[in-house]
Amino acid sequence: MISRAAALLLLAFSRMPLTAEVRDLKAFFQERCAVCHGPDGSGRGANGARLGGRNLAEARWLAKQEESELVAAILKGRGAMPGFRRQLSEAEARRLLVEIIRPLATRKRS
Ligand code: HEC
């Protein structure tokens, strides 16, 4: 039997931002999202061509969005975008948004 204290400790650890997991979500973005949103989230590929996904790196747009709406869009899909609820838990979708997508928007771009 796992003690209550151990369970709480496990819970605390599972909520810590582990670098390995962040790296995995980064890889997930590059593998599953970059095909439409670009490696930098701009919606453009290496040659500047539009890929079809919206520009997620537009800070002014991003700042106006409800986090829960974006998480729902990632999980359920929106418009031409497929949903990812079979690949991501709600917590992972939220972390993808907060830890991977948001930093793309705050990075200074030319
Ligand atoms: C097949 C292309 C495609 C893929 C793959 C894709 N997207 Fe999208 N995404 C889109 C398009 C197109 C939109 C604009 C949808 C609309 O508003 O009609 C969009 C919109 C979004 C939005 C904004 C939703 C909103 O409420 O306006 C977010 C956030 C997003 N995508 C995140 C992701 C993430 C994270 C992944 C990878 C897990 C991903 N997308 C994969 C095409 C794609």
Residue 53 sits in a domain whose CATH number is 1.10.760.10
Residues 18-46 have pLDDT tens digits of 566 777 999 999 999 999 999 999 999 98
In a domain, 11, yes or no: no
Nearest CA to ligand 1 atom 39: 33
Q: What residue ranges line ligand 1, CB within 6 angstroms?
A: 32-33, 35-37, 52-54, 56, 69-70, 73-74, 78-81, 84, 96
In a domain, 6, yes or no: no
CB under 8 A, 24+ apart: contacts of 60-64: 62/101, 62/102, 62/105
CA pair distance 33, 84, nearest whole angstrom: 10
Q: How far is the CA of 110 from the centre of ligand 1 (A)?
A: 23
Model pTM score:
0.84
Would the CA dihedral through 45, 48, 53, 57 be positive or negative? positive
Res 110 pLDDT > 90? no
In a domain, 4, yes or no: no
User: Relative to the CA of 84, which ligand 1 atom is closest?
Assistant: 38
In a domain, 69, yes or no: yes
Name the β-bridge partners of 81.
78
In a domain, 5, yes or no: no
Residues 1-12 have pLDDT tens digits of 678 888 777 777
Q: Residue 108 — pLDDT band, cuts 50, 70, 90?
A: low
Q: How far is the CA of 103 from the centre of ligand 1 (A)?
A: 17
In a domain, 1, yes or no: no
In a domain, 84, yes or no: yes
Residues 53-106 have pLDDT tens digits of 999 999 999 999 999 999 999 999 999 999 999 999 999 999 999 999 999 987
In a domain, 89, yes or no: yes
What pLDDT, on the 0 to 100 scale, is given for residue 25?
A: 94
Range of the domain at 38: 18-106
- Domain count across the chain: 1
Find where tokens 């890889």 sit: 27
